Amino acid sequence: MLDPVTVAAIALKTSLLLVVVGLIVSLMARHSAAWRHFLWTAALTLALLMPFAVVYLPSSIQISLPRSATESWTRDEPAPVASGTRRAEAEAAALAPRDGGRSIAEGDTREAWPIAMIVWLVGAIGVLLRNAMAHVGLFRWARQARSEHSPAWSATLSRVARETGLRRPLRVLESERTTSPCTWGVLRPVLLLPAAGADWPEPQRRFVLLHELAHVRRFDYLTTQVANLTCAMHWYNPFVWFAAARARKLQEQACDDAVLGAGGAPSDYAELLVAMAGGSRRLSLAFPAAVGMVQRSQLHGRVTAILDASRTRLPLSGIALLIALVPLASLTLFLAIVSAVATPAAMQRGIPLTAAFNSVELRNGGNVSLVHGESQSVTLLKGDPEQASISIRDDGRLVIDRCPTQCPRNHDFEVEVVTPALGAIAVAEGGTIQARGEFPPQSKIVVAVSQGGRIDIRSIPVANVTASVYSGGGIFTKPGTALRAKVEQGGNITYWGDAVVESSVLYGGVVEEGTAADADRSLADLIGPKYVEPPAPIPPVPPVPRVQSTSR
């Protein structure tokens, strides 16, 4: 499941891509409509692929943002070492409660996130359903139309097909239910012609067929469906809807340019569009699916463009398409793999923080030492601050992530955390959090390990401890009054003392009482390989006496 940070990155990067393309298109206002339509269509196609690129491509490019050492680190600001992390699954696995209780990592945003995903899903289904219903209407029209053409349409279609050199298979239908022609389909396009067009003058029928066959040659139905899919995925993004509307308008203008390029008089063609606009209401029901000739909302701009003799009306060439597509694809790739990293000037020992935290989480390995102190501070002892992420979240969690994106080899990472007390400690996907020195007594604490890692809080005197281990890892504690322990799918919880223990083990693991000899041993000795007494040597087998046979 996508996390809020990833979705925000997808929305931001998609918007940046469309804004850049919009600026390019505005600078090319005097170029042909075919050129500008291709740029918008390419941008919409890349926007459709953007979520997959952001999720599955590694963030290999990081932009460092300077942060002054004199700036205060407040809870509401971004992390001193921030990164566009995509580890939602690791965070959820590490901190989700296995017993149905509230996790220490769940905040208001995470609680509302499933609702937000449902809202997005409802919106996407709504857009797709609108498109599907439009196709149902088209199929109904096609079923009710007739394949026998009137002599007028047949004669004009034969001449225009020879003139344009159309070689694609085409299914031509006539219908009494529409007053405006339209086309749809990819492998075998359908051209729906109004039966009333048989009474039109020959030049007008020629204009209509030139326009619709231009849609077929340009695969405008396919590009329209790509735009519809992009709108369904990014229905919340106004930039996507703007780009789709511009692409739809420009594809009609590109086909108008094809008509004028074939020798049509601009004034006659514009007059035909105005006359057809009065009877195109029925076609508007299928607008999301069909590629129609006339839409009233686009009429003014199209007529203006048709009558503008200074406009460029050249079609696109294959080399030009490639030249334009490569930079756009490169921009999309760059946006997908880039992430911003705010690097602190230093995290020096003894400098107190201006925002308090009440819990500590370690992710993706490393070592964290917990030391008692009257004020809170965080010191990066080992590690690259540009690779790591250390932040105080709004709910008071100090989150220490050794490698939010891509972890380099041999990245030694060690952090010292000074704090008077803590309410919760968590480790996910490896790493160790160990309390060192003397801590004052406290009433309760929650500790959790997921997918490897260790927590050692033996030096923190706690009355009530709630401990959980999921899918490997270990917790070591000395509860004073009660211990509530749960292990699932492997791992161990070791305790010392006379506390009342309530334990649960599912699918492997162990909750055990440590021996008195191990109570004060170092963590390295506890987790090291235990000494196994070698088996006693097997005594040698005595030789079998040789049996001599006697003969008589």
Of the candidates 170, 151, 249, which has an alpha carbon nearest to the alpha carbon of residue 213? Answer: 170
Q: Find where tokens 């000395």 sit.
A: 478
The answer to whether 461 touches 478, Cβ cutoff 8 Å, is yes
Q: How confident is the model at residue 340 (pLDDT cuts 50, 70, 90)?
A: low
Residue 541 buriedness (CB in 10 A; 0-12 / 13-18 / 19+): exposed
| Predicted model pTM | 0.58
Is 509 within 8 Å of 477 (Cβ atoms)?
Answer: no
Q: Is the pLDDT confidence value at 534 over 70?
A: no
**Confidence (pLDDT) at 144:** 85
Non-local CB neighbours of 191 within 8 Å, separated by 6+ positions: 170, 171, 172, 173, 181, 183, 212, 213, 216
pLDDT over 70, % of the chain: 78
Which domains does the chain show, CATH number per domain? 1-57+107-342 (no CATH), 346-527 (2.160.20)
**What average pLDDT score do residues 486-502 get?**
94
- 445 pLDDT more than 80: yes
Distance CA 372, CA 443 (A): 16
Q: Which residue has the higher pLDDT, 442 or 408?
A: 442
Does 502 or 93 have the greater pLDDT score? 502
What is the CB neighbour count within 10 angstroms for residue 333?
15
**Tens digit of each residue's pLDDT (9 = 90 or more) over 210-240:** 998 999 988 999 999 999 999 999 999 999 9
User: 65-119: per-residue pLDDT in tens?
Assistant: 444 433 434 333 434 433 333 333 333 333 343 333 334 444 455 566 688 889 9
The C-alpha atoms of residue 32 and residue 371 are separated, in whole angstroms, by: 69
Could you tell me if 238 and 14 are in contact, meaning their C-beta atoms sit under 8 angstroms apart? no
Task: Return mean pLDDT, the chain.
Answer: 80
Q: What confidence tier does 349 reach under pLDDT thresholds 50, 70, 90?
A: very low
Model pLDDT for residues 114-134, shown as the tens digit of each residue = 888 899 999 999 999 999 988
Residue 163 has pLDDT above 80, yes or no: yes
C-alpha dihedral, 374 to 377 to 380 to 386, nearest 10°: 170
Q: Specify the pairing of strand 61-67 against strand 338-344.
A: parallel
β pairing state of 397-401 and 389-392: antiparallel
Mean pLDDT of 239-247: 94
Q: Is the pLDDT of residue 424 over 50?
A: yes
Q: Which amino acid is at 463?
A: A
Give the per-residue pLDDT at 182: 86
Mean pLDDT of 276-293: 61
Query: What pLDDT does residue 353 have?
Result: 61
Q: Strands 474-477 and 454-456: what pairing? A: parallel
3-state secondary structure (DSSP) of residue 64: strand
Tell the residue number behind the tokens 């923080």, with chain if given: 353
How far is it, in rounded angstroms, from Cα 365 to Cα 412?
9
pLDDT at 362 over 90: yes
